[in-house]
Homo-oligomer: A and B are copies of this chain.
Amino acid sequence: MRKIEQKHAEGESIMGLERIDFIREQLKSKKVVYVNQLAEKLFVSPSTIRRDLGHLEKEGLVRRFYGGAKLMEHPSNEIPFFTRKEENLAAKEIIAELAADLVADNQVISLDATTTAATLPRFLHNKENLKIITTSAQIALDCLDLLLPARIFCTGGWLSATSRGFTGETTRMRIAEYYTDLAFFSARAFSWENGITDVNEEDVCLKQEMIRRTRKAVFLCDHTKFDQISYRLVCGAAELDCLVTDRRPSDEWLKRLESAGVEVIFPE
């Protein structure tokens, strides 16, 4: 007990995991950390800090440079699923509620492995006899826990930690086996010139397959995603049938989307 208090008095001579967590926080707020600074602050030797940063580098969280390390700007795909789910939660819920109105009884719908799509099932309680096709293990189990009156088909495949969904050739083939009334999907960015883009090559292929195999492709797109560009093309605006968002888009966007024949749904 005394020992611990003493340590606290001296500052935190933290150990192992907790120290690395501290470094993570520093990185989050400051983007850059320096070996000496951390060593001093944490009362450990620079060697230890170097080792820690080495671990974080292996994880892909930072890039080392001479004297310290810099936070790697992560595509949001690599932020843990449950953190991502909290981001813009209000927006996702607004979108999900509006999107749910598109669904009618007895339909077959598909959902991709995104946090936005994962918000949708909560609003499907009053639909009867749905079939839900999804690439997301998380969404599949969520539907069970919600006691949805629906049949759930999950593609299977290799499980991805970041999306908590499945990827790979098997997954794509499974999607291709179903033609759906509605396909709900999201992505990281939407710009007029570059269309819908996202970071993960494999996930993009799955979205494309979903879009190809549906009567009505519905893009769930919160306001933060407009006029952004990621790098891998999902599809152009013209290939959409419908876009659901949480705020009224600008007049310019509305005009563009209308001219492209995209039905736009937003609150009020």
Residues of A in contact with B (beta carbons under 8 Å apart): 1, 3-4, 15-18, 21, 32, 34, 37, 40-41, 65-68, 70, 73, 75-79, 82, 137-138, 140-145, 151-159, 161, 164, 166, 170-171, 174
- A148 to chain B minimum Cβ distance, whole angstroms, is 10
What are 13 inter-chain pairs, A to B, with CB distance below 8 A? A15-B68, A16-B66, A17-B66, A76-B138, A79-B145, A137-B137, A140-B159, A141-B141, A144-B164, A151-B159, A152-B158, A156-B157, A156-B170
User: Which chain B residue lies CB-closest to A147?
Assistant: B161
Q: By the criterion CB–CB under 8 Å, are A159 and B143 in contact?
A: yes
Q: By the criterion CB–CB under 8 Å, are A76 and B141 in contact?
A: yes
A140-B159, A157-B154 are contacts. A174–B164 as well, Cβ < 8 Å?
A: no
- A206 to chain B minimum Cβ distance, whole angstroms, is 13
Residues of B within 8 A of A153 (CB): 156-159
Among A142, A156, A161, A171, the most chain B Cβ lie within 10 Å of the Cβ of A156
Q: By the criterion CB–CB under 8 Å, are A141 and B138 in contact?
A: yes
